[in-house]
Structure 1
Amino acid sequence: MSNIEKLLSQKAFNSEYTKGLVSLIFVGNWIVSRHQQFFKKFDITMQQFNILRILRGQHPKAANINMLKDRMLDRMSDVSRLVERLRKAELLERKSCEADRRAVDVKITPKGLQLLKVIDEEIRQLEDSLQALNPKEIAQLNKLLDKVLEQY
């Protein structure tokens, strides 16, 4: 009996594909839950962290809402709402774009950069979710996931 079958009190799956999908969903939910707990202590969400990381990568240049939407891990996020919350927390600034008044430029603030610096010092705690895999296995996992993502 495999771990997923034990965890779910599941008899044998109909196929290895079904077992693989269920395992991916289960592991994905477990990892998301760990991330949510981790970011709670910084008073931000995973999606807000994702936006701050994107903005840090753009720094010192500004980003716009569409670019943030395109680069988000969670494509269902309401980016405008997330940006507004981060602005209220003074982790980013938002202003009208000089070139296009309909667009909005978004930049990370020094306070946002400092928060990411603090998070970076502790984020390794999340990587231990995959410590059961050795470097060769994690490379293989990444290749397999890339192969699945070719369909995306």
Structure 2
Amino acid sequence: MNVEKIIKTKKEIPLRPRTLIHMQLIVNSVSEKITAVLKPFDVSTQQFNVLRILRGQNGKPANLSTISERMVSKMSNTTRLVDKLLAKEYVERKICPENRRKVEISITTKGIEALEHMDAAMLQAENELTANLTDQELIKLNQILDKF
């Protein structure tokens, strides 16, 4: 990816800002790819993330706070995301029997089945997005990104 070519400049961009611009371009590219992969399932990236979080609960319900804490995008409106997943019958919301102020959210069988189809599409996208990198390069890239 040639940063200068993409942003159509003939000026040489200093290393640090060029690196950050490069990272932003990559984030946008990955985001666009993932959005396109999930579009046929009528699910946003954030909704997909909520479903994966709930599946990771292994049958135990989660509350909105737990979901919000584990979201990749902290800017997401978790209540709105859960409401949209409720409308699709991918999740269910119940009042906690021990504490009526607490709402418990669980993934449904329909949600798990839909997520399995999404997983296959996401795996293919992940493989395509990382096809030019070896496992060793991916490990090194993750080590570098951890420094941020």
Query: Is 1:124 equivalent to 2:123 in the alignment?
Result: yes
Q: 1:88-99 to 2 correspondence within 5 Å?
A: 88-99=87-98
The match for 2:108 is 109
Deviation by residue 1:42-95 (Cα, 9 ceiling, x = unmatched):
011000000000000002100000000000011000000110110111000001
Query: Is 1:58 equivalent to 2:57 in the alignment?
Result: yes
Q: 1:41-80 to 2 correspondence within 5 Å?
A: 41-80=40-79
State the AA in 2 paired with 1:142. Answer: N
Structure-2 separation of matches of 1:112 and 1:89: 8
Contact 2:34 2:122 in 1 (8 A): no
- Higher-RCO chain (CA-CA 8 Å, sequence separation at least 6): 2
Deviation at 1:140, TM superposition (A): 0.6
Structure-1 separation of matches of 2:46 and 2:98: 28
Structure-2 separation of matches of 1:95 and 1:42: 25
Unmatched segments (≥5 aa) in structure 2: none
Structure-1 separation of matches of 2:71 and 2:96: 21
Counterpart secondary structure, 1:107: strand
Structure-1 separation of matches of 2:4 and 2:130: 20
Structure-2 separation of matches of 1:106 and 1:41: 25
Structure-1 separation of matches of 2:45 and 2:98: 31
Contact 1:59 1:107 in 2 (8 A): no
Count residues with an aligned counterpart: 146
Contact 1:47 1:77 in 2 (8 A): yes
Q: Percent identity?
A: 37
Q: Stretches of 4+ moved more than 4 A in 1? A: none
Structure-2 separation of matches of 1:146 and 1:99: 40
Counterpart secondary structure, 2:92: strand
- Superposition TM-score, scaled by structure 2 size: 0.94
The match for 1:142 is 142
Deviation at 1:125, TM superposition (A): 2.5
State the AA in 1 paired with 2:129. Answer: S
Counterpart secondary structure, 1:125: helix
Query: Is 1:20 equivalent to 2:19 in the alignment?
Result: yes
Contact 1:31 1:129 in 2 (8 A): yes
- Between 1:74-83 and 1:130-139, the stretch displaced more is 130-139
Structure-1 separation of matches of 2:145 and 2:67: 23
